[in-house]
Amino acid sequence: MTPAPFPAARMRRLRRTRALREMVQEHRLSAADLIWPVFIRDGQGITEPIPSLPGVNRLSLDRLLPAAEQAHALGIPAICLFPYTDQSLRTETCEEAWNPENLTNRAIRALKAEFPDLMVMTDIALDPYNANGHDGFVIDGEIVNDETVAALVKMGLAQAEAGADILGPSDMMDGRIGALRMALEAQGHRDVAILSYAAKFASGFYGPFRDAVGASGRLVGDKATYQINPANAAEALACVARDLAEGADMVMVKPGMPYLDICRAVKDRFERPTFAYQVSGEYAMIMAAVQNGWLNEEKVMLESLMAFKRAGCDGVLSYFAPKVAAALKG
């Protein structure tokens, strides 16, 4: 509809006061929209800064619990665990990935024991456990699909058994959602949700994350044979359609801000719960500018997350989550 001509229509009338602006605001951001990605490591009393992610730390489990308590008190409904695995446990066969006593599974049990109402999401991919740094098995230089899917199913079942609420397959292997969903049903974990990294692009924005989980120095080659070409939108939508058909409950676009067009297209086409991951490179760029005095941290982090809501996302994984929740509460 075309607005009436000036001066009958003065767009600034509804911008005149804060109360008017808030009354006609089209999209809203709340702590309930957030999932907080947290890096964990073995040890005691460890809060270990990650240089390429200013303000983000690796936490030992005894430090994770109070951090989770604070996040829960701020209204953040879920945290997502990413392990920094000891180098001695990284092998070509990746068996630590489905060890019931691995770091992630111990963290799940600890969190659910202390905070049963806090949802725990996990990551399903082999890269934290792989000597080659890839999300799947590497055989004769090839990242193999079907053998990897079988391993990912074992990994997901171990996490479900530990008490995870949401499983996040981030590997981009073909067929892994269907295989995981059937295994969960067969093993009595029918209520465990799958938030699929359905449209994960072979992006240059993941560097600081790989530092955080200790995979940077181990990655041989790149991940272009299994992650989506950044130039391909139709392929991304086809991957989302496939994962929903195979049993994903929710889908994710990753990275976030460079792919807002994909977020909008996914929500409009499928009308299913749609998430984005404001990835490590996005966060690091903002924080670098903040540290140089070029940007206002609070204003830009809130604006960046509102962009996801405006693009149709139901929620966002963001390292800013605790700061955002505190700012919104304040």
Catalytic residues: 200, 254
Q: How far apart are CA 324 and CA 28, in angstroms?
A: 13
Q: Are 226 and 173 in contact (CB under 8 A)?
A: yes
Reading the block at residue 128, the tokens are: 């934290």
Q: Which two tokens stand for residue 142?
A: 């090839």
Sign of CA dihedral 136, 141, 145, 147: negative
Task: Label each residue of 7-54 as H, E or C.
Answer: CCCCHHHHHCCHHHHHHCCCCCCCHHHEEEEEEEECCCCCEEECCCCC
Nearest partner of 259 among 281, 231, 287, 239, judged by Cα:
231
Question: What burial class does residue 48 get, using C-beta atoms within 10 Å of its C-beta: 0-12 exposed, 13-18 middle, 19+ buried?
Answer: middle
Listed residue (203, 214, 46) closest to 128, CA to CA? 214
- CA torsion, ordered 312, 206, 90, 146, to nearest 10 deg: 50
Beta strand pairing call for 142-143 and 166-169: unpaired
Contact residues for 84 (Cβ-Cβ < 8 A; gap 6+): 39, 40, 41, 58, 128, 212, 213, 214
HEC assignment per residue over 228-290: ECCCCHHHHHHHHHHHHHHCCCEEEEECCHHHHHHHHHHHHHHCCCEEEEECHHHHHHHHHHH
Longest dimension (CA), the chain: 72
